[in-house]
A and B are shown apart, each in its own frame.
Chain A
């Protein structure tokens, strides 16, 4: 992991030359001319900053590899189509699998990308690519989208972490997804719909005692940091302060506070509760939430498994989208449904589908992406992309652009520029609103 050397020198504070110039360009574009000197320029950047900080990202990670044929790109009555039919959606001309009846009614909010080709059929590598926008190499480690979103979008004043990963079970502790951004931007991991582990103050510790303990800790830290400050020590201090604020806002994680009607609409599944949790977190200022739905690695009995899994997803996801739209949150929240890859058009001997990255689909909704569209196309049997091909790098750029982040900018790490997204890729401009 690369450690930023503060000069002030935190990467938090560094905006590189390209980003600065892009800010200037943005200001020029807004005002039509450079007038009013640096003060006006600063105001322009600040306004954009404020707007950007309102944006949120939610990723549904369909762990194991969701079948595009049983979800976003059905091919009924073909050799590869399987037993499920396609159903119409709220957008004329766009059909999805019959396993998504509720989601079909939300299609006017969605943007399907049906031309994804990532050419990587390994679970770990595929997941890395989709979450970092880059291929994995031994020479460099890149932050995941959650860490980047937390860095670029999050307002620490919320008292909540900027990057939360909700896992199906277990959980607790912190992730390790931030790479050169530093551990401060790694995730807090929640196990299901439960608050972070150990976020309750023990009853035996009085408020006064708790206060004194932290005063002592801060004093000692201060002495140490005066001489040996680093990204690690900052992350350590930040974690403590974040934990304290998080304890004060513990009720945000309490899904039981939701009315029964909401719980019913989201469904009784783990995913339903996680979606409800995600909505609460977003409402309260968390910039990035990743929800994991497991598992889709269906080499065997693909169709029975997808009935169960996609059925569960459909209710929770459709309700989530509808809920965000009803609350006016969708305009500022980008929702992305992705996997590490799709599944083979070919149906194997055990009614299974294997790993397939040459032609698959993801779905997006909200923020700055178009809605009610399907971009990209596969051939009749879904074996190859014939229009609108994109890959993990393009998708990563698009996610950032959709929430107002200039994905062409770089950060300064150890004195060198590191582009936040792969410079060899670019946003899928056609899907951006």
Chain B
């Protein structure tokens, strides 16, 4: 394991795609990264060489990406409602399975801790479970009143969490799909009533590796969402009873929104803020409300991923660059 030092985080690689990027995920082995672009293609990048292979198959943007446990498969979810399984470790990756999975946007695809199950969520307000290897649908249920923005499996393998536009975070028992409780993330729903439009949502859910804390990322103080005036917000909940223990806020980021949050082993959260203030990596821990560190990125970021074992953070940027930062000296 590498000695992580978030204070030393810095960009170590940047590679350019042909179109602005919207999403990225690092492979389980940390040897490659996949990004998704506004031209509806995916890109596979080797780490550290940066060799690129372009994957075509979606008819729309793919916001949702996840690898299987071994890193042989990538599953992508598009705004056309389609899930595609890719043989991502092949020299020339191919789409090996395509399923019309949702009506409208797929906003999240995640794999279970044992890697056997996938969850997909999206604008049709429905949660669907799939067998990772075969693509067989295991279950589906209508779950939220509004678009589902994010999902995460709890490390116990027993529970699933889903978050929606209104900031509702439902905790489900996977075995019988019963609703265990709902965490109140309503501060992440932040429209300006004068603008008469919905805004906010649980953009990302994360859980500490030991399962004791839940993190919900997004935005608040949307005084002018149409003009990108809103601030980043990360909510920290206690798993045992769902109590909100901290609302992490930031000074001096008047145009920020947390697109993703990931937890390190010590429950320090790495997140990325995009929006009119720029691209910023923000680090939060349980000791203080404000971030413990921030690192400016060269351009607006739209997504990020963490590979804790190697201390690498990938970020997807509007300037078409995939950037790899190292959380070490």
Contact of A352 with B39 at beta-carbon distance under 8 Å, contacts A85-B80, A308-B197 already known: no
User: Does any Cβ of B come within 8 Å of A298's Cβ?
Assistant: yes
Binds B, one of A75-83, A176-184, A326-334: A75-83
Contacts of A352 in B (CB 8 A): 228
Q: Which of A82, A168, A299 has the most CB of B within 10 A?
A: A299
A350/B228 in contact, CB under 8 A: yes
Chain A residues with CB under 8 A of B39:
77, 79
A342-368 CB contacts (< 8 Å) to partner B: 347, 349-352
Does B79 lie at the interface of the complex (its beta carbon under 8 Å from any beta carbon of A)? Answer: yes
A349: chain B residues within 8 A (beta carbon): 274, 276, 300, 318
Q: How far is the CB of A361 from chain B (nearest CB, A)?
A: 21
Contacts of A305 in B (CB 8 A): 197-199, 226
A295-B226, A300-B227, A350-B276 known; A76 and B196 CB under 8 Å? no
| Cβ-neighbour of B196 out of A168, A300, A301 (below 8 A) | A168
Minimum CB–CB distance from A63 to chain B (whole Å) comes to: 9
Contact of A350 among B60, B123, B195, B275 (CB under 8 A): B275
Contact in complex: B225, A308 (CB < 8 Å):
no
Question: With A and B bound together, what is the CA distance between A132 and B128 in angstroms?
Answer: 51
Check A347 against B20 for contact (C-beta < 8 Å).
yes
A residues 62-82 near B (Cβ < 8 Å) are 64, 76-77, 79, 82
What CA separation (Å) do A77 and B79 show in the bound complex? 12
| A233 proximal to B (CB < 8 A) | no
B199 touches A85 (CB 8 A): no
A contact face: mostly helix, strand, loop, or mixed: loop
Complex Cα gap A80–B226 (Å): 19
Is A304 engaged at the interface, CB distance under 8 Å to the other chain?
yes
CB nearest neighbor in B for A305: B197
- Give A298 to B105 CA distance when docked, in angstroms: 19
With a cutoff of 8 Å between Cβ atoms, the chain A residues found around residue B275 in the complex are 300, 350
| A350-B274 in contact (CB<8A) | yes
Size of A's binding interface in residues, CB under 8 A: 27
The answer to whether B123 touches A307 (Cβ under 8 A) is yes
Residues of B within 8 A of A76 (CB): 59-60
* CB <8 Å contact, B59 and A77: yes
* CB-CB contacts below 8 Å: B13-41 with A: 19-20, 38-40
Report A-chain residues with C-beta under 8 Å of the C-beta of B197: 294-295, 298, 305, 308-309
Q: Is B61 an interface residue (CB 8 A)?
A: yes
Whole-angstrom distance between the alpha carbons of A379 and B195 in the complex?
32
- A300-B276 contact in complex given A84-B60, A85-B80, C-beta closer than 8 Å: yes
The answer on a CB contact under 8 Å between A77 and B199 is no
Q: Does A391 contact B (CB under 8 A)?
A: no
- Nearest CB on B from A296, distance (A): 8
> Is the pair B226, A64 in contact by a Cβ cutoff of 8 Å?
yes
CB–CB B40/A299 < 8 A: no
Give A307's nearest chain B residue, CB to CB: B123
Nearest 6 pairs of A and B residues by beta carbon: A300-B228, A83-B79, A83-B61, A349-B300, A294-B196, A349-B318
Residues on A lying within 8 angstroms of B by beta carbon are 64, 76-77, 79, 82-85, 168-169, 294-295, 297-301, 304-305, 307-309, 347, 349-352
